[in-house]
């Protein structure tokens, strides 16, 4: 056993074939628990020659209660499906040239919602990109609408709502323990 201490983390390396510890170990590939005596992961087949557990500010093994689509994450996914569908339908009914942006963003939102609900690995990256696009489009619309004396007050409210929505959910996706545990980082 080798223990290395540093200011930011404690790294403990255990050799899998060592008889010093008969504790459970976690696969460095899939993160699933294995008994201390195995050389290969019983879940994914990866070699467990050396298991490294990094103890930092976050737990390396996700809390099993936080894995899955529920809580705020489920609300976010439901919100993406509903708001994207509404944006597409209203843009098709009240078609204006800028409505194409809403249609494209709505279609991408449906795709992102699907990826998140199926727990696909790249889903969070796509969700952050989608939300960044919502923030950018909402900001541009606020600037354009504020310059137009004939702009509808509802359009200004919708753009401000999109801006706040995008920022809040971007912060959630970046800080949520559930998102990190469900999508592995």
pLDDT at 63: 67
Residues 6+ apart with CB under 8 A from 77: 69, 113, 116, 117
Instruction: Write out pLDDT tens, residues 112-139.
Output: 999 999 999 899 999 999 999 999 999 9
Q: Indicate the pLDDT class of residue 62, thresholds 50, 70 and 90.
A: low
Q: Are 65 and 84 in contact (CB under 8 A)?
A: no
Strand 10-15 relative to strand 50-55, pairing: antiparallel
Q: Say if residue 51's pLDDT is above 60.
A: no
- Which element (helix H / strand E) includes 163? helix 153-175
148-166 mean pLDDT: 83
Q: What percent of the chain has pLDDT over 90?
A: 38
Half-sphere exposure of 9 (CA within 13 A, CB side): 12
pLDDT at res. 4: 44
Q: Which two tokens stand for residue 161?
A: 């709502």
- Which of 19-33, 65-79, 144-158 has the weakest average pLDDT? 19-33
Place of tokens 């696969």: 27
């Amino acid at each position: 056993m080798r223990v290395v201490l540093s200011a930011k983390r404690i790294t403990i390396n255990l050799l899998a074939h060592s008889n010093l510890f008969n504790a459970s170990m976690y696969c460095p590939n899939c993160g699933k628990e294995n008994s201390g005596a195995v050389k290969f992961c019983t879940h994914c087949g990866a070699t467990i020659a050396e298991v490294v557990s990094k103890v930092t500010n976050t737990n390396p093994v996700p809390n099993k209660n936080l894995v899955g689509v529920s809580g705020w994450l489920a609300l976010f996914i439901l919100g993406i499906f509903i708001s994207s569908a509404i944006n597409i339908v209203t843009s098709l009914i009240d078609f204006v040239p800028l409505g194409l942006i809403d249609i494209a963003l709505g279609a991408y939102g449906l795709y992102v919602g699907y990826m998140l609900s199926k727990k696909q690995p790249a889903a969070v990256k796509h969700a952050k990109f989608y939300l960044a696009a919502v923030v950018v489009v909402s900001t541009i619309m606020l600037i354009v609408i504020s310059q137009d004396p004939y702009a509808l007050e509802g359009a200004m409210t919708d753009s401000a709502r999109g801006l706040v929505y995008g920022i809040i959910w971007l912060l959630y996706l970046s800080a949520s323990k559930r998102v990190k545990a469900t999508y592995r980082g």
